[in-house]
Amino acid sequence: MRIWFNRGFSLAPIAAAMRDADPTLEVFVSVGQNQPRYDGPSATLVEPEDSEAAYIDWVRETIAANAIDIFIPTRRRSLIAGAELDCRVELPAAIATLDLLDDKFAFAAAIAGTAYHLETRLITSSAALEQAIATFRETGPAGAKPCVKPRKGVNGHGFWRLTQDRPMSHLDNPDSRRITETLYIAAAAAAEKAGALEDLVLMEYLPGPEVSFDMLADKGVLLKFAARTKLPGGVQHIQTDHFLAPAAAALVERFALHGVVNAQFRRAADGSWKLLEINSRPAGGILYSEQVGCGLLADWSALLTGRKHAAQVSRPSIDTQIRLTTIAAQIAA
């Protein structure tokens, strides 16, 4: 059985984990032009930077040349879903749902009224940004701080906490993702003048901790999960029983999620838990869950290949902590 993932995040180690679980499985991964290749997949392909029609032609050629049985796209999903391909295509949700999940403002609006909804303001101009910050400081929760991020973005790209610190404070420690709000507004105004300001969302910054739910779903039913609470010092607390599990299961059912996906919750200053986003793909951190025996990727590969049915998926009892470390490896000169 051959599975192909097109361009995505952390696919090489995910491919390796799936192959370790089933040595008969071949997992192909494709990457962008001039992108690094890593050990893990059975083979790594390089994607062309072509028009939609040319890309689909390349997809068809790749499927035929490599005898691909299952294609799991993490990029250009709408295009791929509308094409006739000579293999099974696995998507984590309907295309309309995937579009919703990729839009942070639309997604926040969709879950309004739930206990884990985080009020989110849409920003389309520098003037709207300035007004939204002023309104937030006047009417937001006591002591709360605002933050911004792109309306459409992944992996925390573009996230900034807005402060009233010294103007140069963000240069002292850029990794803190804190910037004086007047400078951010000025930067937004400059981008707007150049016609390059993309939509933003503004919301309350949540101090945490954050709980990342790695989930295996079958057509809207949560089969198993691993909840990873991110703690200081590179520690993650991994559990297969968690008080947020009913909320996670409700999300899987509501959005008819399928396969391995991820939801991120974070605790607000008032102690309540809010949902930041649903990632319609495996999170890179799922590898930590896999290493301690949760088996989400192993069971996913078994479901994909038909070695298991949903009713056969086990739910191990795991409650452990891991610490992330850095290892230096010598390489050839």
**Tens-digit pLDDT profile for residues 91-107:** 999 999 999 999 999 99
Specify the residue for token string 């707007």: 192
* DSSP code string of 200-232: EEEEEPP---EEEEEEEEETTEEEEEEEEEEEG
Q: Which of 204, 223, 238 represents a domain boundary (last residue)?
A: 204
Is the predicted pLDDT of residue 23 greater than 70, yes or no?
yes
Please indicate, yes or no, whether residues 230 and 253 belong to a single structural domain of this protein. yes
Q: Which of 42, 75, 91 represents a domain boundary (last residue)?
A: 91
Residue 306, domain member (yes or no): yes
Q: How many CA atoms lie within 13 A of 279 on its CB side?
A: 23
Q: What whole-number distance in Å separates Cα of residue 226 and Cα of residue 215?
A: 7
Residue 292, domain member (yes or no): yes
pLDDT tens-digit profile of 204-215?
Answer: 999 999 999 999
Please indicate, yes or no, whether residues 196 and 214 belong to a single structural domain of this protein. no
Please indicate, yes or no, whether residues 290 and 187 belong to a single structural domain of this protein. no
Least trusted range by pLDDT, from 79-83, 100-104, 177-181, 275-279: 177-181
Q: What is the pLDDT of residue 294?
A: 96
- What total of structural domains would you count in the chain? 3
Please indicate, yes or no, whether residues 87 and 126 belong to a single structural domain of this protein. no
Please indicate, yes or no, whether residues 217 and 190 belong to a single structural domain of this protein. no
Residue 169, domain member (yes or no): yes
Q: What is the pLDDT of residue 35?
A: 86
Please indicate, yes or no, whether residues 133 and 151 belong to a single structural domain of this protein. yes
Residue 100, domain member (yes or no): no
Domain that holds residue 177: 119-204
pLDDT band for 308, please (50, 70, 90 cuts).
Answer: very high
Least trusted range by pLDDT, from 165-169, 189-193, 302-306: 165-169
Please indicate, yes or no, whether residues 215 and 318 belong to a single structural domain of this protein. yes
Residue 71, domain member (yes or no): yes
Residue 98, domain member (yes or no): no
Q: What is the CATH number of the domain that holds 59?
A: 3.40.50.20
Query: What are the b/e assignments for 279-295, b being 16+ CB within 10 Å?
Result: bbbbbbbbbbbbebebb
Q: What is the pLDDT of residue 333?
A: 60
Q: What is the CATH number of the domain that holds 177?
A: 3.30.1490.20
Is the predicted pLDDT of residue 5 greater than 80, yes or no?
yes
**Nearest-CA neighbor of 213 among 223, 224, 228?**
228
Both structure tokens of 98: 């995937």
Least trusted range by pLDDT, from 152-161, 195-204, 216-225, 269-278: 152-161
Q: Which of 180, 204, 228 represents a domain boundary (last residue)?
A: 204
Q: What is the CATH number of the domain that holds 282?
A: 3.30.470.20
**Burial bucket for residue 120 (CB in 10 Å: 0-12, 13-18, 19+):** buried
Is the predicted pLDDT of residue 298 greater than 70, yes or no?
yes
> What percentage of the chain carries pLDDT values higher than 70?
99
Please indicate, yes or no, whether residues 189 and 251 belong to a single structural domain of this protein. no
Question: Between 249 and 177, whose confidence is greater?
Answer: 249
pLDDT tens-digit profile of 110-119?
Answer: 999 999 999 9
pLDDT tens-digit profile of 106-146?
Answer: 999 999 999 999 999 999 999 999 999 999 988 888 888 99
pLDDT tens-digit profile of 164-183?
Answer: 877 777 777 778 888 999 99
Residue 192, domain member (yes or no): yes
Q: What is the pLDDT of residue 154?
A: 76
* Mean of pLDDT values over 2-13: 90
**Predicted TM-score of the model (pTM):** 0.92
Is the predicted pLDDT of residue 88 greater than 80, yes or no?
yes
Residue 330, domain member (yes or no): no
